[in-house]
Each structure stands twice: as C-alpha cells, then as structure tokens.
Amino acid sequence: MIFIFYAVIILLILLLIKDSFSKLHTLIAIVVFFILLHFLLSMLVIPFLEKLLSYVHSVPYVAQLVYSALFYQIGLLLHSIFEEQEYDSIGELVMIAVRIVLLTYWIGEFANVLSKFSSILEKLQ
C-alpha cells in the first residue's frame, strides 16, 4: 500500500516538473522510474517471491519459472520505456536479448532433463 502512496506522490511531483521544467521532465521521469522499480523489486516483489517459493520448494522448476517470468516482465518494462521515448528498435533489441537469455537457460535445463531421460530409457532396454 505504501508503494501506491509513493507512486501517487511521485506522479504529482512529475506533473509539477512537467509544467515547470518540461525539457527535464523526460530525464527525471526515467530516473524516477528506475528508483521506483528498484524499490518495488527490493521491498515487494523479491520478498513475495521468496515467500511464495518457500511454500512450493519441492516442486521442480518453479523457482526457475517464476524468476524467468520476472526477468521477462522487467524486459517488457524496459521495452515500453524505449517505445515511449520513440526508440522502438532499441526496445526490440532489449526484448530479443531477454528472449535469447531465457531460451539459452531453458535449452540448457531441457538438455539436462533430456539426457537423464535418455539414460533411464537406455537402462530400461
């Protein structure tokens, strides 16, 4: 709830800055976005995910899936910032990089599972 309160206060401050110093508004808005993102991740999201994962720690690949989803969501946020600033191609590069990182990680995990599965099949034959 406190995060929403901070967000509303920052919105009011940004509107004041936009009316007073319109040339600096974009720069200040981006800085404030990253400060809020850090606050949101460190105070709310990461503790929530740790608590959630403590309940389902025995289920395989849940932690990897949750952190992959978080990483993808952060990539989408960065993509939208670049789009708002009319740097669409850089935003697309960010998303391509996020997808490549996630695919590389999950291909490695899939290869491990596939090798274990194939060794089990070989033992059964």
pLDDT tens digits, one per residue of 84-123: 989 999 999 999 999 999 999 999 989 988 888 888 888 8
Q: What's at 113, amino acid-wise?
A: V
DSSP for 39-86 reads HHIIIIIHHHHHHHHHHSTTSTTHHHHHHHHHHHHHHHHHHHHHHHTT
Is the predicted pLDDT of residue 21 greater than 90, yes or no?
no
pLDDT tens digits, one per residue of 39-51: 899 988 999 999 9
- For residue 81, what are the contacts with CB-CB under 8 A and spacing of at least 6? 30, 33, 91
